[in-house]
């Protein structure tokens, strides 16, 4: 269905009319000039992210539902990275004419799946038009007790450095999707030369997207459907571990370590052999002739948690499933160091994942 048929207000109604609020802190959701929230005796956390078509996502291989899911999840991840509990999101979308009501419904389905997973209410937003691509902006609001908030600036020079899950898989997933896109473009070109009837051509082009992800499903999932690590935060709480600094890994481990070291006034020393890397990530890097350590250091979008904790917690974190101790903080004058498998020291560069290839 054409969006113009419903109009802006009709579309918003269509997308939001059966959204139920689950948080007592949500006083009023969609439908007025503002959402109204109520927080008693806690701090409010606010984070925002903007996603642009062609820069942050490619609709050739990302469907609208996954896009909605990821858009919400990356913001939810920022709230966990502060030690908070996500409560509400507001969603702004700018759409060009090629999008249909069904596309928006799929996007909202994805949003809602992510929000339901973490008990987050969708409380407002703005739906508008765009001359070119799709633009998405999401703001997530959460809460935390003052003493539970984990800033980037609290690391001490003797703290351990830990990461959750594994690294580099989302970046390898992106490489895989890009490779399959190139295969698809080749097929499309062949079809365009062969088939003259525009309707038949369009049908055949639709059928031509048959990517081969065999044995690499994990990588694709990590790229398309990242998960915020609220479970890790909960585990740490339950074990009595109080991280001294924390961030989620969106730009890549190196880049995030630079932020934490800068704000905490420390250096760090991490070990190549301790970096958690999934088997599929290693295989894919091999296939693409890429250095898997570089992928783990600089590939972004894993949305795992990077945190530091006192050395006294060593026994706990060493034995915690899903957590890997990868090194320790140092005095600032030692800089940021990576110790390679053969024991050599390298300076850790924060090149960011976009400049990796």
Inter-CA distances, 352 with 88, 106, 255, 327, 357, Å: 29, 31, 6, 20, 11
Q: Which of 72, 111, 135, 161 binds its own copies (CB under 8 A)?
A: 135
**Three-state SS for 107?**
helix
**Three-state SS for 67?**
helix
Per rule CB under 8 A, is residue 53 in the interface with its own copies? yes
Which residue, 83 or 216, is less far from its own copies as judged by CB?
Answer: 83
Which residue, 34 or 182, is less far from its own copies as judged by CB?
Answer: 34
**Three-state SS for 322?**
coil
CA 136 to chain centre: 14
Contacts with 212 (C-beta within 8 Å, 6 or more apart), sequence order: 180
Structure tokens at 71: 């858009």
Looking at residues 89 to 128 of the shown chain, list those that interact with its own copies (rule: CB under 8 A).
Answer: 90-94, 123-126, 128
Name which of 31, 141, 123, 161 is nearest 78 in CA terms: 141
Q: Which of 6, 21, 49, 156 binds its own copies (CB under 8 A)?
A: 49
Name which of 81, 101, 30 is nearest 226 in CA terms: 81
Q: What is the DSSP letter of 349?
A: -
Q: What is the DSSP letter of 215?
A: T
Closest separation in Å from C-beta 314 to its own copies? 25
Per rule CB under 8 A, is residue 36 in the interface with its own copies? yes
Name which of 336, 321, 320, 322 is nearest 262 in CA terms: 336
Q: Which of 56, 70, 216, 269 binds its own copies (CB under 8 A)?
A: 56
Per rule CB under 8 A, is residue 32 in the interface with its own copies? yes
Structure tokens at 68: 């909605």
What DSSP line would sit under 83-106, residue for residue? T-EEEEEEEEEEE-TT-BHHHHHH
Per rule CB under 8 A, is residue 84 in the interface with its own copies? yes
Per rule CB under 8 A, is residue 82 in the interface with its own copies? yes
Interatomic CA distance for residues 320 and 221, integer angstroms: 24
Structure tokens at 285: 């890097």
Q: Which of 17, 20, 24, 34 binds its own copies (CB under 8 A)?
A: 34
Per rule CB under 8 A, is residue 158 in the interface with its own copies? no
Is residue 284 within a helix (H) or strand (E), and if so which, with residue range? helix 279-287
Per rule CB under 8 A, is residue 43 in the interface with its own copies? yes
Q: Which stretch binds its own copies (CB under 8 A): 16-24, 26-34, 164-172, 175-183?
A: 26-34
Looking at residues 285 to 314 of the shown chain, list those that interact with its own copies (rule: CB under 8 A).
Answer: none
Binding string, residues 206-245; x marks residues near its own copies by CB under 8 A: ----------------------------------------
Per rule CB under 8 A, is residue 2 in the interface with its own copies? no
Q: Which of 22, 116, 132, 346 binds its own copies (CB under 8 A)?
A: 132
Interatomic CA distance for residues 177 and 170, integer angstroms: 10
Closest separation in Å from C-beta 280 to its own copies? 28
Per rule CB under 8 A, is residue 321 in the interface with its own copies? no
Q: Which of 23, 85, 139, 308 binds its own copies (CB under 8 A)?
A: 139
Q: Which of 17, 18, 20, 40 binds its own copies (CB under 8 A)?
A: 40
Is residue 46 within a helix (H) or strand (E), and if so which, with residue range? strand 43-52
Is residue 324 within a helix (H) or strand (E), and if so which, with residue range? strand 323-331
Q: Which of 78, 180, 227, 272 binds its own copies (CB under 8 A)?
A: 78
Positions that interact with its own copies (CB under 8 A): 8, 27-28, 31-41, 43-50, 52-56, 78-79, 81-82, 84, 88, 90-94, 123-126, 128-133, 135, 137, 139, 141-142, 144, 146, 149, 151-153, 247-248, 263, 352
């Amino acid at each position: 269905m054409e969006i113009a048929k419903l109009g802006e207000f009709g579309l918003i109604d269509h997308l939001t009319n059966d959204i139920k609020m689950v948080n007592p802190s949500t006083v009023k959701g969609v439908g007025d000039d503002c959402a109204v929230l109520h927080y008693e005796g806690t701090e409010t956390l606010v984070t925002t992210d903007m996603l642009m078509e062609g820069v942050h996502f490619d609709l050739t291989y990302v469907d609208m539902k996954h896009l909605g899911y990821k858009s919400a999840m990356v913001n939810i991840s920022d709230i966990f990275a502060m030690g908070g509990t996500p409560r509400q999101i507001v969603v702004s979308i700018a759409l060009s004419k090629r999008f249909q009501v069904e596309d928006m419904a799929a996007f909202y389905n994805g949003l809602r799946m992510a929000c339901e997973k973490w008990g987050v209410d969708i409380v407002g937003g703005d739906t508008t038009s765009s001359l070119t691509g799709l633009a998405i902006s999401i703001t997530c609001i959460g809460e935390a007790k003052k003493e539970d908030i984990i800033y980037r600036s609290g690391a001490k020079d003797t703290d351990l450095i830990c990461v959750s899950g594994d690294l580099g898989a989302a970046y390898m997933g992106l490489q895989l999707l890009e490779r399959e896109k190139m295969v698809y473009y080749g097929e499309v070109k062949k079809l365009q030369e062969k088939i003259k009837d525009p309707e038949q051509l369009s049908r055949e082009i639709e059928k031509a997207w048959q990517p081969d992800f065999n044995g690499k499903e994990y990588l694709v999932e990590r790229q398309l459907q990242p998960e915020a690590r609220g479970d890790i935060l909960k585990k740490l709480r339950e074990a009595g571990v109080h991280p001294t600094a924390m961030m989620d890994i969106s730009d890549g481990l190196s880049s995030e370590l630079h932020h934490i070291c800068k704000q905490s006034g420390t250096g760090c020393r991490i070990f190549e052999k301790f970096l958690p890397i999934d088997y599929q990530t290693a295989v894919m890097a091999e296939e693409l002739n890429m250095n898997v350590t570089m992928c783990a250091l600089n590939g972004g979008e894993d949305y795992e948690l990077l945190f530091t904790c006192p050395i006294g917690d060593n026994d706990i974190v060493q034995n915690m499933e899903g957590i890997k101790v990868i090194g320790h903080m140092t005095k600032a004058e030692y800089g940021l160091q990576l110790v390679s498998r053969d024991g050599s020291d390298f300076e850790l560069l924060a090149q960011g994942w976009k400049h990796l290839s």
